[in-house]
Amino acid sequence: MTYYSKHLFFCTNLRPEDADRASCGQCGSEGLRAWTKDRAKSLGLTGPGGVRVNSAGCLDRCELGPVLVVYPDAVWYTYLDEEDLEEILQSHVIGGKPVERLMLPAADAAD
């Protein structure tokens, strides 16, 4: 068994306001990552054999963001708020069923 059953990697890259590309950090990804980490802990999902919620540098999908990816499932999501993240936790992380409405189209996901 691996140390964690799932990793949730949140792009928290923050580019300057005048950058040529958008960035997930401009969409509040750091605060929403922190909320997800706290929520996963309150649900008893964290720790050995459980879930790890991490910040990631640029995942190169910022125009579609904010973006997170769930490994080892390689499911890429975009989300808007805590309600979307709660749905990902409940349906995908706990229930094993990815949230199709939030998934990036296969052509836009990079494995």
The 10s digit of each residue's pLDDT in 71-109 is 999 999 999 999 999 999 999 999 999 999 999 987 554
Sign of the C-alpha dihedral, residues 61, 110, 29, 32?
positive
Q: What is the pLDDT of residue 1?
A: 56
Please state the rounded mean pLDDT for residues 11-35.
Answer: 90
Residues with Cβ within 8 Å of residue 65, at least 6 apart in sequence: 11, 22, 23, 24, 27, 29, 78
Residues with Cβ within 8 Å of residue 111, at least 6 apart in sequence: 74
| First and final C-alpha spacing in the chain | 22
| 61, 29 contact by CB (below 8 A) | no
CATH annotation of 6-108: 3.40.30.10
Pairwise pLDDT comparison (25 vs 5), residue with the higher score? 5
Whole-structure pTM value: 0.90
Give the model confidence (pLDDT) of 30-62 as tens digits: 999 999 999 999 999 999 999 999 999 899 887
The per-residue pLDDT of the chain, averaged, comes to: 91
